[in-house]
Amino acid sequence: MMRFQNQVIWITGASSGIGEALAYALAAEGAKLVLSARRHEMLEKVRLACTEPDRHLVLPLDMTDIGTFGPSMQYVLDRLGRIDMLINNAGVSQRSLVRETSLAVDRALMETDFFGPVALVKTVLPYMLSRRQGRIVAVSSIAGLIATPMRSTYAAAKSALKSFHDALRAEVHDSGVGVTVIYPGFIRTP
Active site amino acids? 154
Report the chain's terminal Cα–Cα distance, integer Å: 31
Distant-in-sequence, close-in-space partners of 108: CB < 8 Å, separation ≥ 6:
64, 92
Write the CA distances from 131 to 39, 135, 186, integer angstroms. 31, 11, 36
Residue ranges in the chain assigned as alpha helix (H)? 17-28, 40-49, 69-80, 103-110, 116-131, 152-171
